[in-house]
Structure 1
Amino acid sequence: MGIRGLTTFIENRSHFYLENYQLHDTNLVIDGNSIACQLYRRHNKSLNDSFGGDYDRFAGIINNFFNTLQRCNITPLIVYDGGYETKKVHTINSRMKNRIKAANQLNPTNSFSVFPLFQRHVFEDVVEQRGIKSVRCDFEGDTEITNIAKALDCPILSYDSDFFIFDALYIPFSYFEISVKSANDESDVAYKYISCKVYKVDKFLKSFPGLQKSCLPILAVLLGNDYVKRSVFAVFYQNLKMQTCRGSESNQQKVIKSLLTWLQNETIESALSKVLGRYCKAKRQKILKKINVAINGYNSYESRYMRYLDVNVPKAGPSKHKVDLLSIDIPDEDEEIENNDAHQDQDDDVSSEEDENVNIPSKFQDKFRRCIYPASFMDILVRNRYYCVPQVENVALENSHTYSQATAKKRRKKRKKREDQPENIDDIMNIDDLELNSDDEASFDPNNLFSVLRNN
């Protein structure tokens, strides 16, 4: 999901919130999607993406990363995101637009960067070749990454501000040195380690006395995320006492500090009562329902993906049950938002239904979680949609994704024919037996975002 400005806020105060850490002799849960991008970005100067990406050199960089872990007796466990969730559609559209603009302006001499089309595939291939244990979540994986790390009592490696909210040991990739150092323990036994910095929620809370751990997800919600946009809380912000920051810091940094200061004197119930008290009851319940889903996304429970990693798990304690905030009694205050024209109709600012109750055939789900199927297959199965990722190409010519539409058209026909037969799910996804004729019309557009967005 990501929380705008929070990474900058933490990094600007890293001497308060982060601790030096020696990583060795441990499991390490790796956010596969994030680290694939961060490895490419860190070495971007040596990888010219104007010509589609130097995949062999990138594979070497990935192998060096895993070799470094191996030398320090660190066992990587890779967790990938799956299909896009409903709440991510607007975010995906925005990212695609930005990617198209960057691709159109890219040349070997400027500073623009575009991840090459197969950047993530190269990472996954190296992971598979090395026999590293991995799992693909059905949809977004942040919560499951945390669940797995907490079950194994080990750190998370990622570069995602959501992990500042989760109650888990988190290593931001920007503070992770891909090099091996040596030291001796108390018994004078030599060991090798990777120098990094780690974030602990408890250390962060000490800087804000009175701030409860359970209130941190409210911070994420009020700053705006995929569930509820920040604009929904406009009236709340009008009444929030703003704190001062150093002169060089942005207004967003002041907002974050102000929210943290305000939450020092609140419980989760009192905070939500003050935030939602000015809404009419109908709208209040709709927003509260989404806040409830968002907050539960930060809660820990036993992971359903652990068995795919085939690791020994310590005996688990009682699972943490989901929080139900829908029964909170919120007193009516002045219903300012309801009577304010600027905020009268904000249904678009609250995400639509969730994906948890989607009926996914068990045979498909098992192979998907074992990384036999790519992430795009979940979008095809659940929404009959395929996202065509923009790439660097000659924009004066017909875009390259156009030529895949005939294949997509045939696959759609197969899916419609067999969608009521879950046992044939492999056939639905298999393209080897698609007999494409030269006269097949590419009349089916699988939500070709590149074509659509480039013309807008």
Structure 2
Amino acid sequence: MFEGTLNDMKVPLVRCFGEADGQLAALARELCCPVLSRDTDFYIYDLPEGVLPLTPFWHSVKQSQARSDISCKRYTMSSFCTFFNIDRHLLPIFALLAGNDYVNLRDVKWASYVPAGRPTMKFSASLVGLLSWLGARKDETTKDTLTAVMALIPKISQLALTEMRTELQNGMLEYRLPAEVFQLEDHSAAAC
């Protein structure tokens, strides 16, 4: 029923089976449109039109007799990197260290890296500390940064360290946009 309504309205439909973040980000880049989502992973992708957070989006509808408006904030990777003084190639590491489901590095005391006098505003001190730690490494390669991360982990076996490095490297691959994007033609349903 839902798909039929979309087809009747000539709205393109794409179906993804499995993790769809990368495909959706690639499609948003291709169509030059923002992603409307509550998934924070989209802040890591380089999307020309950025991300519109879903939660406040629906609460900001303003209606008048003539028209309806939705005021919203749009977030982009470049403004995030500028605000936190972090190099864009380190963002996948940030995403993984900040709480990706696959790697648990919560034992590292990231709050201790918040520079003196830096306000944490509405962000947690741990996230600001992690961003500050990564910002100090913006001239390092990804490999060097991963090595530095591994050195911060207290009391861990060499085997666990190797497994964790592999998980981090594999996790970073999730933030690479696919080279090929599915085509939306004739307003018909497509699948990937």
Q: TM-score, normalised by structure 2?
A: 0.74
Contact 1:158–1:171 under 8 Å retained in 2 = yes
Q: Which of 179, 182, 189 is the matching residue for 1:302?
A: 179
Q: Secondary structure at the match of 2:84?
A: coil
Aligned length: 176
Partner of 1:262: 133
Give distance in 2, aligned partners of 1:285 and 1:246.
33
Partner of 1:174: 55
Partner of 2:149: 275
Give distance in 2, aligned partners of 1:239 and 1:144.
31
Partner of 2:97: 222
Partner of 2:34: 155
Cα 1:242/1:165, change in 2 over 3 Å: same
Deviation at 1:369, TM superposition (A): 2.4
Alignment of 1:404-419 (within 5 A): none
Contact 1:171–1:196 under 8 Å retained in 2 = yes
Q: What is the aligned-residue RMSD (CA, Å)?
A: 3.3
The code of the aligned residue for 1:228 comes to V
Contact 2:110–2:126 under 8 Å retained in 1 = no
Partner of 2:43: 164
Give distance in 2, aligned partners of 1:214 and 1:239.
20
Partner of 1:197: 73
Partner of 1:241: 112
The code of the aligned residue for 1:272 comes to L
Contact 2:111–2:129 under 8 Å retained in 1 = yes
Give distance in 1, aligned partners of 2:180 and 2:63.
32
Matched, 1:143 2:14: no
Contact 2:43–2:77 under 8 Å retained in 1 = yes
Contact 1:178–1:194 under 8 Å retained in 2 = yes
Question: 1:391-430 CA deviation, whole Å, 9 max, x = no partner?
Answer: xxxxxxxxxxxxxxxxxxxxxxxxxxxxxxxxxxxxxxxx
Question: 1:300-327 CA deviation, whole Å, 9 max, x = no partner?
Answer: 23244x22x227xxxxxxxxxxxxxxxx
Partner of 1:429: none
Give distance in 2, aligned partners of 1:165 and 1:152.
18
Structure 2 unaligned spans of 5+: none
Give distance in 2, aligned partners of 1:193 and 1:303.
34
Deviation at 1:293, TM superposition (A): 1.8
Cα 1:303/1:158, change in 2 over 3 Å: farther
Contact 2:16–2:191 under 8 Å retained in 1 = yes
The code of the aligned residue for 2:128 comes to K
Contact 1:148–1:303 under 8 Å retained in 2 = no
Deviation at 1:246, TM superposition (A): 5.8
Cα 1:284/1:255, change in 2 over 3 Å: same
Deviation at 1:294, TM superposition (A): 1.3
Question: 1:341-400 CA deviation, whole Å, 9 max, x = no partner?
Answer: xxxxxxxxxxxxxxxxxxxxxxxxxx9928xxxxxxxxxxxxxxxxxxxxxxxxxxxxxx
Partner of 1:369: 191
Give distance in 1, aligned partners of 2:120 and 2:128.
11
Q: TM-score, normalised by structure 1?
A: 0.34
Partner of 1:328: none
Higher relative contact order (CA closer than 8 Å, sequence separation 6+): 2
Contact 1:158–1:172 under 8 Å retained in 2 = yes
Whichever of the two has the greater Rg, that structure is 1
Deviation at 1:238, TM superposition (A): 4.0
The code of the aligned residue for 1:214 comes to H
Alignment of 1:31-50 (within 5 A): none
Give distance in 2, aligned partners of 1:254 and 1:214.
22
Give distance in 2, aligned partners of 1:196 and 1:128.
28
Percent sequence identity is 26
Deviation at 1:297, TM superposition (A): 0.9
Contact 1:245–1:253 under 8 Å retained in 2 = no
Structure 1 unaligned spans of 5+: 1-121, 182-191, 312-366, 371-456
Q: Secondary structure at the match of 1:196?
A: coil
Give distance in 2, aligned partners of 1:217 and 1:178.
33
Give distance in 1, aligned partners of 2:24 and 2:81.
22
Cα 1:287/1:368, change in 2 over 3 Å: farther
Deviation at 1:239, TM superposition (A): 7.3
Cα 1:241/1:135, change in 2 over 3 Å: same
Give distance in 2, aligned partners of 1:166 and 1:155.
11
Contact 2:113–2:132 under 8 Å retained in 1 = no
Deviation at 1:193, TM superposition (A): 6.9
